Amino acid sequence: MTPIFAISVLLFALVCSCHAQVNRPDYRYCQNNSECQPDHCCTIGPLRYSIPQCKSMQKEGEICRPGNVSTLNVTVGYPDGTELKLEDVHYIFCPCVEGLLCDDKEGVCKEID
């Protein structure tokens, strides 16, 4: 067996074993906030077939949603027939990071007075 052939077989086996361990569809990044890093939350966009993904919490001066920050519990479907149950995900963007509040008039994150 030539060294190049042996290396090719080894690489092929490695790639196949890594691919076989992935259980999630490529487009699923999160289903709830607990799957995100600290200071991040799980969000879903406004478009059909939006991909849930972890985004960072809004920082000072960034846009936010005034009032009660509500989350969504929804099942989304994709063209391949896959359905994902999303729990407590945020719509479009995360709330303000801890220590900041969303200003009702300006709609941006500000320090708590």
Digit-coded pLDDT (tens) for 17-66: 444 444 545 445 899 999 999 999 999 999 999 999 999 999 999 999 99
pLDDT of residue 23: 52
Q: What is the DSSP letter of 11?
A: H
Identify whether 22 is part of a domain: no
Identify whether 35 is part of a domain: yes
When pLDDT is cut at 50, 70 and 90, the band that residue 69 belongs to is: confident
CA distance 93 to 105: 18
**HSE-up of residue 70 (Cα within 13 Å, Cβ side):** 4
Identify whether 1 is part of a domain: no
CA distance 38 to 40: 5
Residue range of the domain that includes 64: 31-111
The predicted model gives 2-28 an average pLDDT of 56
pLDDT of residue 18: 47
CATH number assigned to the domain comprising residue 63? 2.10.80.10
Identify whether 107 is part of a domain: yes
pLDDT of residue 56: 94
Total domains in the fold of the chain: 1
